[in-house]
Chains A and B, each alone.
Chain A
Amino acid sequence: MRLRALLSGRELSIVIALVVVVGVTAAVRPAFLNAQGLHDLFLNASVIALLAIGQALLVITRNIDLSVGSVMGLTAFLSGQLFLADVDTPVVLVVVAGMALGAACGAVNGALVAVAKVPALVVTLGTLYVFRGLDYGWASATGVRQVNADQMAPEFLAFGSGAVLGVPNLTLIALVALLVTGYALHNWRSGRELYAIGSNPEAARLAGIPAGRRVFTAFVVSGALVGLAGVLHAAYFGTINASVGTGRELAVVAAVVVGGVAIFGGSGSVRGAVLGALLLTTITSALPILGVPAFWQRAVDGAALLLAISLDRAVMLRVAARLRRERGLRRA
């Protein structure tokens, strides 16, 4: 019962799926669950989890950001460029610069959506190409095709692969982001208003909620998180070119949807989105260990997505039926 109070029905089903995937894989290969294995699982999920937190904020308001992969590429490339300019650039400065650039990209999206009233799907599809184009243009203009590990500050790389008490730094950062956004979304007035906007934009506006400003802010915050993810990607992989993050938007939207954030807004949580990211990356890690041939891995990924959504839908229908029944009983 306690668990029920802690996690919603959707989140519980993800946790069960996660336990099944990890359990089956660990039964086949116990090494999957040793210290290094767990470290790797969390490390793999961290960057995508940060993206999922930002995306969840937007999807809750009935918006979407398809440009995340491009923004991430742009900020990862920025970190590389900063190190090329001066290899002793402080790590903090690189992180702040990446988040600022991400927030600026988010502000462009947010302004087009909130002020110009263009649907987010169209705006961010456009900026997906615009930001990627800028990234390639920048690479071409400066002649920097690739930034390699030996050109970056050793502290930066150590930070990317480091850990505190066995927990990777990147995971700690993702956890902090999760706690802060989760708290704000749950307890702040402006956080609750995001749900109201997503449930019914018109009603939210009539209730006096500054919908435009809230959506704009959500885009900026999400952009800053994407910017952070780009910098962390650079620190984690140590090889950057202008195509970092290509196609990542689909994985992020999948994580958010699997995590139980309703694609039409108004419900879900960042906790669910992070669990969704963890489940999908864990499946990707588990499949090769279970010996699933490479050709099938993508299909299994997609099937997992469909299954999660179907389960989710079934739970939702049951909840709706129960609510109707209870209301009927109350009236009777």
Chain B
Amino acid sequence: MIRSASVTKVAGAVLALVLVGACGGTTKDSSAGTAAGGSTGVGRTADPDAPIKEGVKVAFLPKEVDNPYEIIMDKGGIEAVTELKGEGKEVGPSDASASSQVSYINTLVQQRQDAIVIAANDPNAVAPALKDAMAKGIAVVTVDSDAAPDARQVFVNQADSEEIGRSQIRLVSAQVGGRGKIAILSATPNATNQNTWIEFMKDELAKPEHAGLELVKVAYGDDDDQKSFQETQALLQSIPDLKGIVSPTTVGISAAARYLSSSPYKGKVALTGLGTPNQMRQFVKDGTVTAFALWDPSELGYLAGHAAAALASGRITGAEGEKFSAGRLGERTIGAKGEVILGPPTTFDAGNIDEFDF
């Protein structure tokens, strides 16, 4: 999913889906309700104490099979299924087009899998095939990128926007010692996910414990290397006493890191944000960046694997408030609209960055 460093775009799409769901208001809610009712109608009620089905078969369907982010995610999922003594496998298309997953879903239904975990390329294109699978008693979990809410039972989401925004401020605060001027280097001025995160960052800044921090500027690098580079230069020149930059976009943070690493500001101005370990490794090692964050795709898949096994075994049905055990991640609760949230993003620093490869 992060293949072209555009986590923000994809995250934007994910967020847009969530928003579409939310905008649907009562109708969406009621249809999601019927879906949950429908699956219980097939003869399933949640039994939290039900044993995990023996040899539970879970298939992971990524957006495309050669996407490194998705591969790591699905490996995490297969690990979870193996822990539960089930059989996990990954199959999927070689291109991430809207309809390419449909034939795979149909094949998995014919193979009588117990559960399908899918990162949907398109929320609507896969919906009829997924509904068909649910009607045949197969548990459907979406992960990373949701399908239409009535076409799946549980959606395993990375992290909520609020947590992403707030954790960014906590990171930068720790790096600048809790006081000084900071700036944000975002993507485009109207990127929904970025703006939502920035709102939560501002809200976090308003808390008394961050009184020493002052947000002086939000700059926009348009997710373009050159533009992000120039915006970083402008921030450093126009705010001489700038202490830190937060860039919640993978393109922005790597361009800013590249500029800082070859400028006199290296080590003097803190940089943090959302980035992948591979693109930031060089800059963590050369001391430009101390710590940054992103969710760990392997944990995301792991959580989805546990959710799928729990659904297939009847421990949960996807209704709000149900709880299930997710191995080393502990007990998780299903939230509104069948969403399970992985939790706060993972923070990467010199100590742990070499454990990750994505």
A288 at the interface (CB under 8 A from B): yes
Pair count A-B, CB < 8 A? 95
Q: Which of B5, B230, B263, B285 contacts A146 (CB 8 A)?
A: B5
Chain A positions 268 through 299: 1 when the CB is less than 8 Å from some CB of chain B, otherwise 0: 00000000000001001100110100110000
Q: Is the CB of B279 within 8 A of A146?
A: yes
- List of A residues within 8 angstroms of B4 by Cβ: 145-146, 241-243
- List of A residues within 8 angstroms of B264 by Cβ: 36
Q: Is the CB of A239 within 8 A of B255?
A: yes
Q: Which of B66, B219, B225, B240 contacts A239 (CB 8 A)?
A: B225
Asked if A40 meets B189 with Cβ closer than 8 Å, knowing A148-B278, A284-B227, the reply is no
- List of A residues within 8 angstroms of B237 by Cβ: 29, 31-32, 36-37, 289
Q: How large is the interface on A (under 10, 10 to 19, 20 to 34, 35 or more residues)?
A: 20 to 34
B170 at the interface (CB under 8 A from A): no
Chain B residue nearest in CB terms to A298? B222
Q: Is the CB of B3 within 8 A of A145?
A: yes
Q: Which of B66, B219, B238, B282 contacts A238 (CB 8 A)?
A: B282
Asked if A146 meets B258 with Cβ closer than 8 Å, knowing A32-B237, A44-B226, A288-B230, the reply is no
- List of B residues within 8 angstroms of A267 by Cβ: none
Q: Which of A229-264 contact B (CB under 8 A)?
A: 233, 236-239, 241-244
In the assembled complex, the CB of B239 is this many whole angstroms from the nearest CB of chain A, namely 10
B233 at the interface (CB under 8 A from A): yes
How far is B258's CA from A289's CA once the two chains are assembled, in angstroms?
Answer: 20
Chain B positions 55 through 81: 1 when the CB is less than 8 Å from some CB of chain A, otherwise 0: 000000000001110000000000000
Q: Which of B2, B229, B230, B235 contacts A237 (CB 8 A)?
A: B229
How far is B251's CA from A244's CA once the two chains are assembled, in angstroms?
Answer: 12
Instruction: Name A's interface SS.
Output: helix
Chain A residue nearest in CB terms to B69? A145
- List of B residues within 8 angstroms of A281 by Cβ: 230
- List of A residues within 8 angstroms of B290 by Cβ: none
Chain A positions 16 through 41: 1 when the CB is less than 8 Å from some CB of chain B, otherwise 0: 00000000000001011000110010
- List of A residues within 8 angstroms of B220 by Cβ: 294
Q: Which of B3, B95, B231, B281 contacts A288 (CB 8 A)?
A: B231
Q: Which of A97-154 contact B (CB under 8 A)?
A: 140, 143, 145-146, 148-150
- List of B residues within 8 angstroms of A146 by Cβ: 3-5, 278-279
A89 at the interface (CB under 8 A from B): no
In the assembled complex, the CB of B297 is this many whole angstroms from the nearest CB of chain A, namely 13
B107 at the interface (CB under 8 A from A): no
B153 at the interface (CB under 8 A from A): no
A161 at the interface (CB under 8 A from B): yes
Chain B positions 219 through 251: 1 when the CB is less than 8 Å from some CB of chain A, otherwise 0: 110000111011101110110100000000001
- List of B residues within 8 angstroms of A242 by Cβ: 4
Asked if A238 meets B278 with Cβ closer than 8 Å, knowing A44-B230, A284-B227, A295-B189, the reply is no
Q: Is the CB of B281 within 8 A of A143?
A: no
How far is B234's CA from A294's CA once the two chains are assembled, in angstroms?
Answer: 12
- List of A residues within 8 angstroms of B67 by Cβ: 145
10 contacts between A and B (CB under 8 A): A37-B237, A44-B230, A140-B66, A145-B2, A145-B67, A238-B282, A239-B258, A241-B3, A242-B4, A288-B234
18 other A-B residue contacts (CB within 8 Å) besides A36-B263, A140-B94, A239-B225: A31-B238, A40-B230, A146-B5, A148-B278, A148-B281, A149-B258, A149-B282, A150-B278, A150-B282, A150-B285, A237-B225, A238-B254, A239-B5, A239-B258, A241-B4, A281-B230, A289-B238, A294-B219
Binding site for B on A (CB under 8 A): 29, 31-32, 36-37, 40, 44, 47, 140, 143, 145-146, 148-150, 157, 161, 233, 236-239, 241-244, 281, 284-285, 288-289, 291, 294-295
